[in-house]
Structure 1
């Protein structure tokens, strides 16, 4: 994994996830043009989210069956087709179909992360995952600002046209730059890969990290789905372009957390998770000052995005280390928690803000963070209570392979023991 290859995968993630979130700043003109009533414009974003959930279950496990490099390119082409359909839509149902298709194939993000993990040597796995997933945050936060600027200049359709062109260009670049994978084990059928997802939910490591992700991204969604409400209200009354700049504030913290991958490589993923979740709660204390100050919330946003990304990278490092034989499946199942948590935060923050103002939304976000910290603390306690300390082995790469140093990290016995 050279720096150039990591950059290509990060760009893939950024463009793919932008296809889901690009509609948020342009809902009003998009709904007006397509004849969608104002009360139903939220379904424009929801269409992509529903497609994304379907892709997590049906498409991501394919990465454990076929060459992930070719799969990344194919998914980018299909996502481009969905965005092209959206950009050219003259009726709402056509746009919804295109958005759902683009969202479904936006799960190329998880295939890209799985590829990065599978081709990395153990000592660099966390670092590579950290850099690649940084592209996801760039796509989520940057899409708000960039799509707003494009829509003002050339209309909302230009947003999806540009994303389609970028997706096609990246598909060609992936085939040129990335080397094919060297499979360490014989792949199974996709049906078996999908059916095996259920077994993951009975494993402590996967369930605890999934629940942490659920509450983590509920806290994340509480901020970014509700932030525009107090900013457009008194005393600030900011415009859409000014609000979009807050996305760049979040990027500073999220990109800084790429360092979390190196900490995970050093075997510190578990303590880093606890410290980052405590920092997340502290960040909400600063963000809650938004009705009276802008500078304190800006500091809080940087801290929040740093904490979220640090935990997210640590989670993926631990799970891909524990399940090297089915990386795509485990990442796809893990991201279901991410999607559900994000949806919960987005759905609740507006209702709480209407009833209790930004103080209520801030308490909600901090509460989600506290729940994630409680899950982490409970998991650490269970780890210490395990027989002969065996339950602690998934907490780092060295711990998971130390008792069997001669066994390759991809062996089934190591994976099961780590689980």
Structure 2
């Protein structure tokens, strides 16, 4: 990893012990599992609204287009949390920060459940999105507590929990709403956050004291990291391309499955997300490859898997089996790449993992937003053939980025 001669505020000078090295290193399997469950449950808060839009629109007597903006509002909140809150994990007590974010999230989840009008619900959704960044405070915290020889495995386990939370949120919300109404979804989420908060308050170790940095200087150091850390830039680029391809798939998938020859309803289309569960479980081993020094080779393998997946899915109109296999392979590629990326970027920057997370995930979500936009345009221009070509082009750019880094002998 390329190291700047200038020490980023909050980083530890060469030869000096990191705060984590002064902390207890005994990250147990139980605590790792608790981190994984926490990340999955917290990030699920962002996605509960998606299957509830029709019911929410009916309750507040607004159009589906207006209700659909709730998805964007919640994700904008999450992006703001990544940008403005996650860096605080480098200078504040992370245990206290996570518990504070969860406590505020409980309040806003209950406010969403009790909302008398659409605007109040939208405001609560924005706040829930911001506070759900607690998941991305927890990931670098877990990475910091893990011993060097198993950090990748720890990140893989925690990230698998987060991915499962994303994949299962829509199914869980739909099931609860079917039996108890959409407001019960947010009450149940608040209960889950309360239980997790109580468990984390007892289980999380004390966080080492770190240097205090004024907020303005802290945010300036985020830009400094992006400028000076070549590994972070490469990994952010590859993460953005991976998530762009993922977004191309899941944006275009609804179009193709609801069109001829399938004509599936929304419930059936939602079942295709279950293929992602297998992908998440398979990709969780990516962290072990990083621990063994194979992160660079694993990145090329996962990039190649993404490209091969789009080759399979180009046959969608003729084979549902090819589509399902392609979804599974793309999930393995994208999620394996994500875990490998975060394992690598957390291996350095001991005092700046929160800011590293901000740089990486902000770039990551920009890639996803671009992928969704391009997929919609591609469908309008040429249907699934154009969507498949777009996804394949993104995967080719991903593999090309890895090959370029390999040719230049960059340490990525």
Fold conserved (TM > 0.5)? yes
SS of 1:196's partner is helix
The separation in 2 between residues aligned to 1:228 and 1:257, in whole angstroms, is 24
Q: How far did 1:110 drift?
A: 1.1
Aligned position for 1:198: 223
| Structure 2 counterpart of 1:370, from 369, 384, 396 | 396
- Deviation per residue, 1:15-62 (Å, 9 max, x gap): 121111222222222223223322333311011111111111211011
The separation in 1 between residues aligned to 2:67 and 2:369, in whole angstroms, is 16
Q: How far did 1:187 drift?
A: 4.2
CA RMSD of aligned residues (A): 1.7
Structure 2: where are the runs of 5+ without partners?
1-26
Q: How far did 1:309 drift?
A: 1.2
Choose 201-210 or 351-360, whichever is displaced more.
351-360
- Aligned residue pairs: how many? 385
Aligned position for 1:109: 135
1:151-230 → structure 2 map (5 Å cutoff): 151-183=177-209, 185-202=210-227, 203-230=229-256
SS of 1:328's partner is helix
The separation in 1 between residues aligned to 2:211 and 2:290, in whole angstroms, is 28
SS of 1:179's partner is coil
The separation in 2 between residues aligned to 1:351 and 1:29, in whole angstroms, is 28
- Deviation per residue, 1:210-242 (Å, 9 max, x gap): 111111111111112332222222222223222
Task: Flag the 1:141–1:218 CA change in 2: closer, same or farther, 3 A.
Answer: same
Q: How far did 1:307 drift?
A: 0.9
The separation in 2 between residues aligned to 1:331 and 1:211, in whole angstroms, is 13
Contact in 2 for aligned 1:149/1:241 (Cα 8 Å): no
- Deviation per residue, 1:165-223 (Å, 9 max, x gap): 1112111111112212335x534344322220011221321111111111111111111
Structure 1: where are the runs of 5+ without partners?
385-390, 396-419
The structure, 1 or 2, with the larger RCO (C-alpha pairs under 8 Å, 6+ apart) is: 2
Aligned position for 1:387: none
Is residue 2:253 matched to residue 1:236? no
Contact in 2 for aligned 1:88/1:157 (Cα 8 Å): yes
| Structure 2 counterpart of 1:252, from 278, 286, 293 | 278
Aligned position for 1:291: 317
Q: How far did 1:130 drift?
A: 0.4
Task: Flag the 1:348–1:82 CA change in 2: closer, same or farther, 3 A.
Answer: farther
Task: Flag the 1:83–1:365 CA change in 2: closer, same or farther, 3 A.
Answer: farther
Task: Flag the 1:177–1:317 CA change in 2: closer, same or farther, 3 A.
Answer: same
Aligned position for 2:175: 149
Task: Flag the 1:289–1:34 CA change in 2: closer, same or farther, 3 A.
Answer: farther
TM value normalised by structure 1:
0.88
